[in-house]
Amino acid sequence: MRRIPIVIDTDPGIDDAAALGLAFYRDELDVKLITTVSGNVDIHNITRNALKLVTFFDKDIPVAKGMETPLLNPALGNKVHGETGMDGYNFPEPARTILKEHAVEATRSLLEESEEKITLVPVGPLTNIAALLLMYPQLKDKIERVVLMGGSLSGGNVNGAAEFNIWADPHAAKIVFESGLDIVMIGLDVTLKARIGEDVLSKSPNKSAEMFDAIFRNYRDGDMEQGVAMHDSCAIAYLTNPEMFTVEPRHVKVVTEGPASGMTMEVFRNEEPNVHVAVGIDVEAFKEWFLGTLAKMV
Ligand code: BDR
Ligand code: CA
């Protein structure tokens, strides 16, 4: 089987931790690089968390530290991920260190050196991806597509209009959405339905399920009966099992100013589609996918 070479650009982050773990254990995916970006908490905690995760899962995947702040806005963080971004579990000290290269440079090297095109999977604010496109536009040809978690066509989670990843760096999101790249937007329209709680985790009594249980309880209200939304894992699920999702071509603009800043607004008339938007998800199939992958983990 041809494995899909991917870069995960992430801000762990509780649901990011689950997405990384799941991606590591999917045979369809070849995680070439993890890049970190300021988002849920500050870049230092985020990068440390990424190192903790590769240590926990014992994966030899390079981690590169990325942008400390959004392109124009200040870094505001996301209180629902607690103080460190992964509170509640006693992770072993990271046994690995970050690459010397900045995330943007590490992605550039990978793209330049790779014989096959690479899929970018951003599950945090789009700052690193926008910087890459601004600095090295010639590398667009080496990007297979961008499968991102972010945005919504049905209201936000930061406010009525905006989803966190787009809201946190709307200017970067605008650059990415207008890049002409093949983009799949996995937004709140589907991710809020993809909930994992005690029912799923208790069926796979391993160390990973124990770790997820501990950190999920610190996510938002930590409602383990209803389950917590696995936003970022949906992007991973889409890569391996796109049939679980209904995806439609749409024209989406990113609002960068005013009270609706960070909104991903659909434009209905006379505009060519620029994004494939996930508008439906088979929730039961997602739970099975999550459980089946979890069962393979440490
Ligand atoms: C997104 O924002 C973050 O809180 C999550 O990790 C996810 O990437 C959901 O809006
Ligand atoms: Ca995230």
What is the C-alpha separation between 123 and 241, in angstroms, rounded?
17
> Would you call 280 helix, strand, or coil by DSSP?
strand
Catalytic residues: 231
C-alpha distance across the termini of the chain, in Å: 23
> Could you give all domains of the chain from N- to C-terminal order, each with its CATH number?
4-294 (3.90.245.10)
pLDDT of the residue at 76: 85
Token readout for 171 is 């200017």
Distance from the alpha carbon of residue 19 to the mean position of ligand 2, in angstroms: 9
pLDDT of the residue at 79: 78
Specify the pTM. 0.97
Atom of ligand 1 nearest to the CA of 149: 8
Q: Is the dihedral of CA 204, 208, 214, 216 positive or negative?
A: negative
pLDDT > 90: what percent of the chain?
87
Amino acid (1-letter code) at residue 137: P
Q: Which positions ≥6 away from 269 have C-beta within 8 Å?
A: none
Q: Is the pLDDT of residue 225 over 90?
A: no
pLDDT tens readout for residues 31-69: 999 999 999 999 999 999 999 999 999 999 999 999 999
pLDDT tens readout for residues 211-224: 999 999 888 777 88
What is the C-alpha separation between 113 and 155, in angstroms, rounded?
40
Amino acid (1-letter code) at residue 215: I
Computed over every residue of the chain, the mean pLDDT equals 95
pLDDT of the residue at 75: 86
What is the C-alpha separation between 67 and 134, in angstroms, rounded?
14
Average pLDDT, stretch 159-179?
A: 98
Nearest ligand for residue 37 CA: 2
What is the C-alpha separation between 19 and 165, in angstroms, rounded?
15
Distance from the alpha carbon of residue 230 to the mean position of ligand 2, in angstroms: 10
Q: Is the pLDDT of residue 270 over 80?
A: no
Q: Which of 184, 146, 204 is nearest to 281 (CA)?
A: 184
- Alpha helices by DSSP H, the chain: 14-24, 43-56, 103-113, 127-135, 164-168, 170-177, 188-191, 198-201, 207-216, 231-240, 283-294
pLDDT of the residue at 96: 86
Q: Is the pLDDT of residue 9 over 90?
A: yes
